[in-house]
Structure 1
Amino acid sequence: MTSSTIKPAAKRIHQIIKLKPEHYEAYKDCHAKVWPEVLQRIKGSHIEDYSISYDSSTGILFASFKYTGTNFEEDMEAVRQDAKTREWWNMTDGYQESLNPGAVSSEMGGVNGTPAWWKELEEVFYVA
């Protein structure tokens, strides 16, 4: 096996955000039928094993995924530039409340120093 065929180690990402309680059903419903174009962009940007969980006692959504590409910033920019994904975010951001002070939206997260919409968490333990 040459070095060019070795797959890079996956980068594991964990994030949280608050779900507005009045939007619980709408959020679940839209994620039960995610738009195919959004799923295609996710996969095209090397995002795998993506899940979102909900804690009803706190209203916190917890997202976890693996990034398996080689240029995280470039792949995340491709997600940000995708028109259908921006349309999806426009809908789902209204259901959420960012835990990052100063965050504006998913689309603007990380642009010109604007905080990310979802708050990234530090992974402190993992066993495969």
Structure 2
Amino acid sequence: MKRYGWSIKVKMERLAEYKALHAAVWPEVLNRLKECNIQNYSIYYRDGYLFSYLEYMGQDFEKDMANMAADPNTQAWWKLTDPCQEPVDSASEGEWWATMEEVFHME
């Protein structure tokens, strides 16, 4: 199992919309996440930023992420959620959710 943390900005004028979408995530999207070996997935909000945490249980993260990105339901979901977001200032070129470094973990 590998833990991942990411951050992104949320557009304040779309925060309520973003929260409403995630209060009723489509079952097809949730199923695809599970099929792509993701579990214990959470998104947190504070002061204009979103923090995403998940645990990856698979063997090939890039392949599973490509599988997710190819899914039509996931693509439709992202068309709703992506306009609510913008990358953090320190994101790399082409990076949407910016990868965070884990500096502490306790089991």
Q: Name the TM tier (shorter chain).
A: over 0.9
The residue that corresponds to 1:28 in the other structure is 19
1:68 has 2:47 as partner: no
Q: Which residue matches 1:120?
A: 99
- TM-score by structure 2 length? 0.94
Structure 2 stretches lacking a partner, 5+ long: none
> 2:79 aligns to what?
90
Superposition pairs for residues 92-111 of structure 1, below 5 Å?
92-99=81-88, 100=91, 102=93
Letter of the 1:39 partner, please give it.
Answer: L
Q: TM-score, normalised by structure 1?
A: 0.79
Structure with larger Rg: 1
Aligned residues: 105
Instruction: Give the structure, 1 or 2, with the largest relative contact order (CA under 8 Å, sep 6 or more).
Output: 2
1:76 maps to a residue whose letter is M
CA positional deviation for 1:101: 5.0
Structure 1, unpaired ranges of 5+:
1-9, 103-114
Structure 2 CA distance for partners of 1:75 and 1:101, relative to 1, 3 Å: closer
Give identity over the alignment, percent: 44
Alpha-carbon distance, 1:116 to partner: 2.4
Deviations 1:104-125 (A, max 9, x none): xxxxxxxxxxx22100001011
In structure 1, the partner of 2:34 is: 43
Q: Secondary structure at the match of 2:31?
A: helix
- The Cα shift of 1:71 comes to 1.0
